[in-house]
Amino acid sequence: MPRPVRNPPNPWQSAHVELLGPPPAAALEVHEERARSIVAGNDSPDLPFRFSVNPYRGCQHACMYCYARPTHEYLGWGAGTDFDTRIVVKVNAPELLEARLRSPRWTRELLAFSGVTDCYQPLEASYELTRRCLAVCLRQRQSVAIVTKSALVLRDAALLAELERASRATVFVSLAFTDEEQARLVEPFAPPPAVRLTTLARLAAAGVPTGVLVAPVIPGLNDDQVAAVLERAAAAGARRAGLVPLRLPASVAPVFEERLREALPLRADRVLAAVRELRGGRLNDPRFGARFAGLGPRWAAVEQVFRVACRRAGLQLAGGNEDAPRGPPPARQGRLFPEPPAG
């Protein structure tokens, strides 16, 4: 079981303070855990990768739509503010990863970072678990792909560039808004869009292959910003792009609705109606093959705008052989990352 830390490291009192923004209003609890494993496998037909690494549970970014919120319920906690403020740190993550990658049974498939939580959330500034895991991957010439909202990834730009030369390293920045105020209301403790665009530019300048994940697209709220996001990301150096509609599994739906009504009371009903149109009358469709797809003419128009904007900006659609690791076996085909990082 995770053990609570009485006085957790304070990432806002560090050299990275300019990247992290203001601390959250809710009290932070940090729980350290010696995990039994760090590489999670999945056999979902919706996901184009089979293995992922998550050094943390929960996420301080507190995004109202985060699909990973129900994972906190497995710990006996809640999917709302508990997910945002009760963070579990897997302190032995690098050691576990080293052992897994050294195993003769490891097949060197692509490792995805941030499948269930943002691996560069603020506590990473203190614990450096993601950085140490990437150092393990470099020693083992292990291909990785990262999705993050955080500018803290810039700390590891040189390491990621070296890993790209040795094997493969791709960083996708999750960005669904150009409207700074909307982003602040929906993703209250994530870096603002302008910071994420700067992050893209600096990673690209450092020699790290980059992409933009337009995720999640929330109909009635930010679906009119897709083309602008792609244009600005391409100008910042992104080479690939992915698109993901909002999904609200299980207890995420009531958290999203409550926070949406509080943050945007005049738009909430319109947004929720558009989400139901996207999901055939419900707020979520959990079926394989439907989770990452959308229904109706509105979503068809969003996909068309996405394809046209990618073509105009010279962006490749995320996925395909260009993202396969160098060495057997090849990565699954399809969109490289069909979900944004948690939180």
**Position of tokens 């497995």?**
74
Residues in the chain: 343
Say if residue 261 is exposed, middle or buried (CB neighbours under 10 Å; 0-12, 13-18, 19+).
middle
**Comparing C-alpha atoms, which of 213, 188, 26 is closest to residue 114?**
213
**Structure confidence at residue 147 as a pLDDT band (50, 70, 90):** very high
Span 3-51, pLDDT tens digits: 665 545 555 555 444 445 555 566 899 999 999 999 988 776 566 677 9
Which distant-in-sequence residues (6+ apart) come within 8 Å of 76 by Cβ? none
Q: What is the DSSP letter of 190?
A: S
Question: Which stretch, 47-56, 261-270, 323-332, has highest mean pLDDT?
Answer: 261-270
CA of residue 26 relative to chain centroid, distance: 22
Span 160-202, pLDDT tens digits: 999 999 999 999 999 999 999 999 999 999 999 999 999 999 9
C-beta of residue 328 within 8 angstroms of C-beta of residue 84: no
d(CA 41, CA 172): 21
Span 89-118, pLDDT tens digits: 999 999 999 999 999 999 889 999 988 899
Q: What is the mean pLDDT of residues 295-323?
A: 86
d(CA 9, CA 174): 26
For residue 7, what are its two tokens? 């006085």
Q: What is the DSSP letter of 330?
A: P
User: Residue 292 to residues 34, 38, 66, 127, 309: CA-CA distances in angstroms?
Assistant: 33, 26, 14, 33, 20
Domains of the chain: 24-323 (3.20.20.70)
Model-wide pTM > 0.85? yes
d(CA 317, CA 206): 22
